Amino acid sequence: MFSRPPGLAQNLASEIEQLIGSRGLRPGDRVATMEELREQTGYGRATIGETCRLLAERGIVDVRPGRGGGLFVAKTSPVVRLRQTLLTVPQGATTVAHAIAVRDSLEELVALEAAANRTDRDLRDLDDCLDTMRSSGGDLEAFLHANWALHERIAEITSNDLARALYVALIRAITELSSRADPQTSSASAGYLAERMAVHEELVEAIRLGDADRVRAAVAAHRGDADSGVLDGCSGRLPAAAK
C-alpha cells in the first residue's frame, strides 16, 4: 500500500495526505489505525507516532486514542484547502518552472523563520536529512528525495502557517512533476552532488547559528545554481552529466 522512500515520517505523512485525496475521504472518515499503519509500512512505533504528529500539525488528520481510535480526516481549514489545491497543479515543464519560481520567492522567508524558531530536535532532524543526502552514493533520485525531505523539514519549523502550507505544497508539486520529467535520469557526477551537498550543509549551519545575514547568503547560494544546468527540483536544474 505504501512505498518506502527516504525520509520515513516525512515521506509517509506525504503519502497519507495524497491517499486521503485519491480516495476522496471526507472530514470524519477514518484513514487507519496505528496498528494498521505499522503492519502496512513495517515502520516502528516511533516513526508512526512522528508521522501522526506531522499530519495533525498540518491539520490533515485528527488522532483519536483508545478502542475505535486512529487517524481520521480533519475538518479542512482554509490553509489545508490551499495546499490541496496546489497539489492538483497541472503537469508539464512550464508548470515545474513556475512552481520553482514561486518556491524560490518563499525560500528566504522560510529559512529565516527556521533560524529564528529551530529547536535542538529540529536541528537533529536536519542533520539526519543531510546524512541521507550524503549516503545517496551518486544515485540522483535518492539524493533529490532526501533533498526535498530536508527542505520540507526546514519548512516544518516555521511559525507562519500560510508560508509553510505554500512552501510544502510547492515542494511536493515539484517533486511529483520533476520525477516524471525524465524517468531515465538516475545518476549525477560526484562533483555536482558534492557542490549541492555543500550548499545545503551551509544552509543548515546558518539555520543552526540563527544568523539572519548568513541565512540570506546561504539562500542566495542555493538559488545561484539556476543558470548552470537543467532541472533538479532544488535549484531548478539537473547536472549536465545526468542528461
What CATH number is associated with residue 28?
1.10.10.10
| Grid cell for residue 208 | 543552526
186 domain residue, yes or no: yes
Is residue 172 over pLDDT 90? no
User: Do 105 and 26 share a domain, yes or no?
Assistant: no
User: Do 59 and 107 share a domain, yes or no?
Assistant: no
Q: How much is the pTM?
A: 0.61
For residues 181 and 77, the model is more confident at 77
User: Do 47 and 142 share a domain, yes or no?
Assistant: no
**DSSP bridge pairs for 61:** 73
What pLDDT does 111 receive? 96
Contact predicate 207/114, CB 8 Å: yes
Q: How far apart are CA 153 and CA 121, in angstroms?
A: 11
- Residue-wise pLDDT for 49-67, tens only, equals 889 888 887 788 998 887 7
Computed over every residue of the chain, the mean pLDDT equals 79
User: Do 90 and 25 share a domain, yes or no?
Assistant: no
User: Do 130 and 31 share a domain, yes or no?
Assistant: no
User: Do 69 and 86 share a domain, yes or no?
Assistant: no
Domain ranges, residue 105:
79-242
User: Do 119 and 42 share a domain, yes or no?
Assistant: no
What pLDDT does 26 receive? 87
4 domain residue, yes or no: no
Write the DSSP string, 145-161. HHHHHHHHHHHHH-S-H
User: Do 160 and 221 share a domain, yes or no?
Assistant: yes
CB 56: neighbour CB atoms within 10 A? 15
**DSSP bridge pairs for 72:** 30, 62
Q: How far apart are CA 75 and CA 63, in angstroms?
A: 12
Stretch 6-19: mean pLDDT, rounded? 80
User: Do 70 and 185 share a domain, yes or no?
Assistant: no
Structural domains of the chain, count: 2
User: Do 94 and 128 share a domain, yes or no?
Assistant: yes
Q: Is 1 helix (H, G, I), strand (E, B) or coil?
A: coil
Q: How far apart are CA 148 and CA 143, in angstroms?
A: 9
Residue 71: enclosing H or E segment and its boundaries?
A: strand 70-73
Share of the chain above pLDDT 70, in %: 76
What CATH number is associated with residue 190?
1.20.120.530
| Grid cell for residue 30 | 477514518
CA angle 3, 168, 162 (to 5 degrees): 145
User: Do 131 and 68 share a domain, yes or no?
Assistant: no
